[in-house]
């Protein structure tokens, strides 16, 4: 079986997907798993930009520095490079299904599909909200990270 590789995807790659990437990095490190991890957006608006300052502050409050992360857009190769392409919401999952190449090998899923009782649910976008909304996104990202790590351990 190939080494697990997970790509987290939201719209702009500056709020939800960087937080999910950070939470998952922390979880796999805690478990001692070998997983390639990245994040991207379906849109191109924030390519090369750091995460939203509120996302950075939320991650830092939770012991993770994401200031060095940079936004990028999903590419066709991602569907072959990664074993799991994880959307943060249903709209981005639909976009990923639409742009997925015919020779894609990655499993597509929603982050919260990995959380008991949350299958099919989206992580709310905190971009137009307040700081507390980023804390809610972080909590969802942590829950999703734990569930996804369980899933990957079960596949290994």
135 is a catalytic site residue: no
Task: Give the separation between CA 61 and CA 144, rounded to whole angstroms.
Answer: 19
- For tokens 């976009």, what's the residue? 95
Helix (H, G, I), strand (E, B) or coil at 72: coil
Give the C-alpha separation, 76 to 37, whole Å.
Answer: 17
CA atoms within 13 A on the CB side of 12: 13
For residue 10, indicate whether it is catalytic: yes
Catalytic residue among 10, 38, 54, 113: 10
Active-site residue identified among 16, 38, 89, 140 = 16
Which strand (E) or helix (H) includes residue 109?
Answer: strand 107-110
Specify which residues 10 forms β-bridges with: 41
Active-site residue (options: 38, 52, 95, 125): 125
Residues identified as active-site: 10, 16, 125
């Amino acid at each position: 079986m190939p080494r697990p590789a997970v790509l987290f995807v939201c719209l702009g790659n500056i709020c939800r997907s960087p937080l999910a990437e950070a939470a998952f990095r922390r979880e796999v490190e805690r478990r001692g798993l070998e997983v390639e991890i990245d994040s991207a957006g379906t849109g191109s608006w924030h390519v090369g930009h750091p995460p939203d300052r509120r996302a950075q502050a939320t991650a830092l409050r939770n012991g993770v520095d994401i200031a060095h992360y940079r936004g990028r857009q999903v590419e066709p190769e991602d569907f072959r490079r990664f074993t799991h392409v994880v959307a943060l919401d249903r709209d981005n999952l639909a976009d990923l299904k639409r742009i997925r190449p015919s020779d894609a090998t990655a499993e597509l899923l929603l982050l919260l599909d990995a959380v008991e009782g949350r299958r099919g649910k989206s992580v709310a976008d905190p971009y137009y909200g307040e700081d507390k909304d980023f804390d809610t996104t972080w909590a969802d990202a942590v829950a999703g990270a734990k569930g996804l790590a369980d899933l990957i351990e079960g596949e290994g």
